[in-house]
Amino acid sequence: MATRKPPAKPNTSKEELLTFYREMLLIRRFEEKAGQLYGMGLIGGFCHLYIGQEAVVVGLEAAAEEGDKRVTSYRDHGHMLACGMDPKGVMAELTGREGGYSKGKGGSMHMFSKERHFYGGHGIVGAQVPIGAGLAFSDKYKDNGRVTFTYFGDGAANQGQVAETYNMAQLWSLPVIFVIENNQYAMGTSVKRSTMSPDFWERGASYGIAGEAVDGMDVLAVKAAGEKAVAHCRAGKGPYILEIMTYRYRGHSMSDPAKYRSREEVQKIREERDAIEHVRELILQGKHATEDELKEIDKEIKAVVNEAAEFAKESPEPALDELYTDIYAETAPQNA
């Protein structure tokens, strides 16, 4: 990953930088806490942390409007927090409790929020891609001007259904933004070892889909690219691909020993490229806040995360009769 170019005069504001700082920090602290609870046995199964990739969702959410939709893979905690879902409900789902977004029946990989237009949380690599195009199809059908952010990783980008979806999305001019979060590792297999044409966004060209690669460790660059993509979709020009170059600091899941890359590689990116540090520097350089004021924000975030963790521990397990509920809907769902 190339070293970031120093921003000339960042096109941003004090409020925006502080919001980004706060939102990215919330994801990081939340994920650290989830890792801790996993270690304590309070979270089970698979748990995929988003640490390192925070600028992707925070930057793109800044480009979204109310009513826009999003759908992603199983590495979904960051997306939920960034789109305004309650950290308590997310954490309680991780612990499998009644207070979770899916009443404890979905877990880390399967959460949804109709209210926040978050359509999952999908556990099968790549399955969310045609689903995202389908959400965009419904918006186009209703002509409501909405766009759908469809997130997937570099691993999923090699799935056949992604190619199938690109074709249909462009054929039918669907308002969908394909966001490839290229964190460079599909579980333990690096892009180099898995992929013949490593510039994933360029694959759209064979379908006539516009796109670009974006520095995913720079939240301002992500937001700018997101705005461009959103404008393209809302103008009825069809889909857009954003390949966002990012990095996950933690293993693929909590049970990943990460032997496929060196500790130095991770350490180097943390030190030189960290997205939260970047915003922090911009804030301090621009004198938008003092160290003490930032510490105050850190404290607030910590409190929010601790509150979520307490809620997730104290919320009861789902009632036993929940086993047999929600298998079939009795009345028509109001998804839209």
The contact set with other proteins (CB under 8 A) reads 69, 71, 100-106, 110-114, 119-124, 127, 129-139, 141-142, 160-161, 164-165, 167-168, 171, 325-336
Strand order in the sheet with 148-153: 118-121, 69-72, 148-153, 176-182, 240-245, 210-215
DSSP string, 80-110: HHHTT--HHHHHHHHTT-TTSTTTTSS-TT-
Closest CB to other proteins among residues 68, 215: 68
Helix axes 54-61, 275-285, angle to 10 degrees: 60
Q: How far apart are the first and last CA of the chain?
A: 40
Q: How far is the CB of 249 from other proteins (least distance, A)?
A: 28
Asked if 221 and 264 touch (Cβ cutoff 8 Å), the reply is no
Closest CB to other proteins among residues 314, 326: 326
Torsion of CA 279, 49, 222, 233, to 10 degrees: -150
Closest CB to other proteins among residues 259, 328: 328
Q: How far is CA 30 from CA 3, 14, 97, 263, in A?
A: 27, 24, 17, 23
Closest CB to other proteins among residues 78, 99: 99
The DSSP bridge partners found for residue 181 are 153, 244
Q: How far is the CB of 335 from other proteins (least distance, A)?
A: 4
Distance CA 103, CA 317 (A): 9
Q: How far is the CB of 237 from other proteins (least distance, A)?
A: 19
Q: How far is the CB of 147 from other proteins (least distance, A)?
A: 12
Closest CB to other proteins among residues 52, 107: 107
Cβ atoms within 10 Å of 17's Cβ, excluding its own: 20
Q: How far is the CB of 322 from other proteins (least distance, A)?
A: 8
Q: How far is the CB of 54 from other proteins (least distance, A)?
A: 25
Closest CB to other proteins among residues 78, 130: 130
Q: How far is the CB of 119 from other proteins (least distance, A)?
A: 5
Q: How far is CA 190 from the centre of its chain?
A: 20
Closest CB to other proteins among residues 28, 117: 117
